[in-house]
Amino acid sequence: MRSRGTAWILRATSAGAIAALAISACRKPPAAVSSQDAEAESGAPTAVAEEKERPFDPQGPKLAAIDMQVNVYTRPDPTSARHGYLRLGTVVDRDAQAAGNDRCSGGWYRIRPRGYVCANQEVTFDTNHPVVRAASVRPDTTKPLPYRYAFLSGAAPLYLRIPNSEEQKKAEYHLTYHEGWYGRHHNEVTRVVPGANDVPLDDRPVGRPSTELSLGELMGGQSDDDPIPFWLEDGRKIPAFKVGGVWRVRRDKFEEWIAARTSKDRRAMSTRR
């Protein structure tokens, strides 16, 4: 199981560049500092500053992102500067009590390592929420490259469910030929050389080098024998529709679809007990 690292995304000054960094490496935005200085000069309450110093309970309540981007603010105020945002599926420690509800009916919650999140439809306190379960493979923020990457040498279809052999042959150009080519060149195309994740970020050990990972791990899995994702079992199909040449998924339909699979899992577990 991977550690539940917080994926913080900051926009770089170069055009189009994006850097994924652990929040511990982020510097406090100048805007947040200036607003606190103004507060101190005006004699405003320092409750928020005191909250920032209070430690979190690792066994305490959690908050999880169920939207692609959940903004994290420097103060419990939507007009304050942002620290960054939480990625879909990120699970973080939070305070048990809200720090206020200014323009946020669900309340503002302080989260680890810093900042405040509005408890709206973009987040959940239930770590077993279907969308959180479906997004269980999260970035490894201990690595220089926290995400898994792959390069395609040609077009590759995206399936809405696990295809059978006939469906693959219809969708994938010259599949039989490519399977034969892969069989002949397997050792060549799967050869691994040390890469960015083999370079230590700090004093922590690097772990297993890339050259020792199995093919399944190199392809983004946890092993060579990962089970089928629970939401694709039994021939289940992602509830998507096409708009022009782009596939879309309605959020409410996706959540219903994931929840149905989750309910089936729980009923099966109850039966086994």
**The pair of three-digit structure tokens given for residue 258, joined into one six-digit string:** 């994931």
How far from 63 is each of 39, 88, 92, 147, CA to CA, in Å?
29, 12, 5, 22
Phi, psi of 89 (to 5 degrees): 90, -10
Q: Are residues 89 and 152 in contact, defined by beta-carbon separation less than 8 angstroms?
A: no
Q: What number is the average pLDDT over the span 158-183?
A: 88
Q: Are residues 144 and 195 in contact, defined by beta-carbon separation less than 8 angstroms?
A: no
Q: Are residues 124 and 64 in contact, defined by beta-carbon separation less than 8 angstroms?
A: yes
Q: What number is the average pLDDT over the span 110-123?
A: 96
Domain ranges of the chain: 8-134, 228-273
Name the one residue in this structure whose structure tokens are 């002949």: 184
Phi, psi of 133 (to 5 degrees): -65, -40
Grade residue 37 by pLDDT with cuts at 50, 70 and 90.
very low
Q: Is the dihedral of CA 35, 41, 47, 51 positive or negative?
A: positive
Q: Are residues 133 and 93 in contact, defined by beta-carbon separation less than 8 angstroms?
A: no
pLDDT of residue 263: 58
Phi, psi of 147 (to 5 degrees): -105, 160
Burial of 184 (C-beta count, 10 Å sphere; 0-12/13-18/19+): exposed
CA distance 112 to 51: 12
pLDDT in tens, 172-211: 888 899 899 989 998 888 888 888 889 887 887 888 898 9
Q: What number is the average pLDDT over the span 161-174?
A: 88
More confident residue, 190 or 111: 111
pTM: 0.62
Amino acid at 7: A
